[in-house]
Amino acid sequence: MERRIKYDKTLLVRSDDTEGIKDAAKHLAGGEIVAFPTETVYGLGANAFDSEAVKGIFEAKGRPGDNPLICHIADKSQIEDIVSEITPLARKLIDAFMPGPITIIMKKSDRIPSEVTAGLDTVGVRMPSDETANRFLAACKVPVAAPSANLSGSPSPTSAASVMEDMDRYIYACIDGGDSTFGLESTVVDCTGDVPVILRPGAVTEEAIRTVSSESPEEAGSLKAGDVPKAPGMKYRHYAPVAQVEIMSMPDKVKLINDDFEGYDVTVNTDVTKPDFKAMDDDAKQELVDILSPFIFRIRQILKDKPLARIGLYCGIEVKLLIEKMDDKIILSHTEIFCYGNSADVRAASHGLFAGLRHLDMQEVDYILAQGFSGAGLSKAYMNRLSKASGGMGQIAPGMPKPSRPARRELPLDHFRDTYTSSVLFVCDDNTCLSPCLEAVMRNLINGQAPYRLRDDKDIGCELYAESAGINASTGASPDPDMCRVLKDTLGYSMSGHKAMRADPACYDANDLILTLRDEQAFSITKAFPRIKDKVFSLSTFAAANGIIFRNEDGKIAAISIPDPRGENEKTYEHTVSALKAWLELLFPYILKQLGIERC
């Protein structure tokens, strides 16, 4: 269905804005589309009793109408309005797992229009455990039909920033509830018969279902040609990044962490234990080497065939630290790492998967090597999404364009004797707003001006990269949704998959030039790490060092000063982006000079 821009902007409602949530709920009940957080992924909701409103979801999503939607509720008493029969099996699962990350398929009632169920006589019911979701759904006072809030063919959104990137101006409002706890969509279980049939694995695992059902759950098998799919969504390929995704195996003897669902307490521990390599015994060390080896083996193999390839890693902290410890300049300069938590932590890996894929794809890597798991519980849901992302299953929904990205201007490989890599790091405080913006602007500039070569040896080509980090960042935090939206609008650049990274010695070492937003930040870095002082500047001192002097209206020398736009209006954001863009455009030739490279 053709998408139409419907609003000047989509309202972004904070989760503590009670009036804003009430207003969004009122508009949803009146026929508008509103995105809301849940503990699995964000949903794109409409009044389930209103067939015209429901059609609006398909339009906003660009999704074929033959894929049924789930009805979301705030209270179990609403189930009776949606279904015509609750089987004893359904009752058991409702009692055991609702509210929580499960969708139960039952026979639908006449009140639910066929637009919701795509003509099926069954309907999926889900009661999220997320507190903001519950408050919003209660305020709606009607069941809310909602698929995941991504554009068809994109990964399910796990933050408001990801939703806004896909939906801004197409829907009335988006409620920002922070990062989704699980990060993978709910378990879908058909409970219309005596035997539970798992149509989509999720955080409520087969094992958990077995504890309450007298019959062992069945899994919906893979489809043969001509079969009518039980969960119609199964026939379509879900998000597949532009990069080629490959799954790296986890050695069998490693004991997985958090591979189960423990009732209603659905917190994900995002604290990462940094491994203490020195305190480890030989067996533990060998285990880490076994986790790391498939990554290193595959990176070397890829680079042997394609020396310019860029490789994204979706891996645990142990793998990241070991790769940094190896200090292999070639590997370091060709990889982008998205770290989800501890290597064996399945819940952390599930939590970060969609955000990680979005992020690595945005970094324009050619390959994504992702940690695989072989466990049963939650590993199954994780591997199900990962194998879909690797293009293993399904077809692209009719009418959906194949994912593509603008062609990158490749360095003419045979043109050069050798190639070299250079990178710039932008540092601010929390790495969620201004430094990601600098990174985005810089990447835009870099791509627009490529290719490059060394200034003092013109036979050597150079690839140039930019990244960002924050001195006080909480690693993994999502970027500011307003900044993402303005970057998308002004540069066409996606930052929603960005995850904050804490600036540390390893990232200082991996970069050739470090530019901070403010003078104090450059000062504190050089104070802590005097040995890198020659490559650390604030934007102002870098400009001054290159003879660029700014004067204010009184003719006095002024520093580059960019206030934090958060909490300000859209115009302030636009000004911020255009100011940072203007600065970087001005400084770009000097940055090249500092790095010893030039445009070819």
Sign for the pseudo-dihedral over CA of 426, 427, 432, 433: negative
Q: Smaller CB distance to ligand TXA: residue 139 or 254?
A: 139
Among 46, 54, 123, 322, binds ligand TXA (CB under 6 A): 123
Of the candidate spans 66-74, 134-142, 354-362, 515-523, the one that interacts with ligand TXA by CB under 6 A turns out to be 66-74
Which lies closer to ligand TXA via its Cβ, residue 128 or residue 565? 128
Sequence length of the chain is 600
**Distance between CA 484 and CA 163 in Å, rounded?**
10
Q: Is 110 helix (H, G, I), strand (E, B) or coil?
A: coil
CB of 185: closest distance to ligand TXA in angstroms?
4
- Show the tokens assigned to 58: 């398909």
**Contacted entry of Mg ion, ligand TXA, none for residue 126, CB cut-off 5 to 8 Å set by kind:** ligand TXA
Q: For ligand TXA, what does the binding mask look like between residues 438 and 477, x meaning CB under 6 A?
A: ----------------------------------------
- Residues 146, 315, 346, 473: which binds ligand TXA (CB under 6 A)? 146
28 counts as binding ligand TXA under rule CB under 6 A: no
Q: 172 in the Ramachandran plot: left (φ > 0), alpha (ψ -120 to 50) or beta?
A: alpha
Instruction: List the strands of the sheet with 452-454, edge to edge.
Output: 536-538, 513-516, 418-428, 460-470, 452-454, 597-599
Closest approach, Cβ 156 to Mg ion, in A, equals 5
Q: How far apart are CA 179 and CA 261, in angstroms?
A: 19
- CA–CA gap between residue 286 and residue 289 (Å, rounded): 5
**485 neighbors 569 (Cβ within 8 angstroms):** no
- Of 34-42, 401-409, 426-434, 446-454, the segment contacting ligand TXA by CB under 6 A is 34-42
48/188 with CB nearer ligand TXA: 188
Residue with Cβ nearer ligand TXA (54 or 503): 54
Give the number of other Cβ atoms within 10 Å of residue 319's Cβ: 24
Specify whether the CB–CB gap between 350 and 203 falls below 8 A.
yes
Nearer to ligand TXA, 69 or 378 (CB): 69
Q: Could you tell me if 475 and 499 are in contact, meaning their C-beta atoms sit under 8 angstroms apart?
A: yes
Give whichever of 28 and 188 is closer to Mg ion, judged by the CB atom: 188
Measured from the CB of residue 116, what is the shortest distance to ligand TXA in angstroms? 8
- Alpha-carbon distance of 499 to 358, in angstroms, equals 10
Shortest reach from residue 117's CB to ligand TXA, in Å: 5
Return the residue of 188, 240, 323, 355 that touches ligand TXA, per CB under 6 A: 188
Q: Which of 89/440 has CB closer to ligand TXA?
A: 89
Contact residues for Mg ion, defined by CB under 5 A: 148
d(CA 350, CA 345): 9
The only residue of 28, 43, 368, 483 in contact with ligand TXA, by rule CB under 6 A: 43
Residue 185 near ligand TXA by CB under 6 A? yes
386 interacts with, out of ligand TXA, Mg ion, none, CB within 5 to 8 A per kind: none
CA distance to 61, 151, 157, 516, 579, per residue, from 547 (Å)? 50, 47, 45, 18, 20
Binding residues for ligand TXA, per CB under 6 A?
38, 40-41, 43, 67-70, 103, 105, 117, 120, 122-124, 126, 146-148, 185-186, 188, 199-200, 230-233
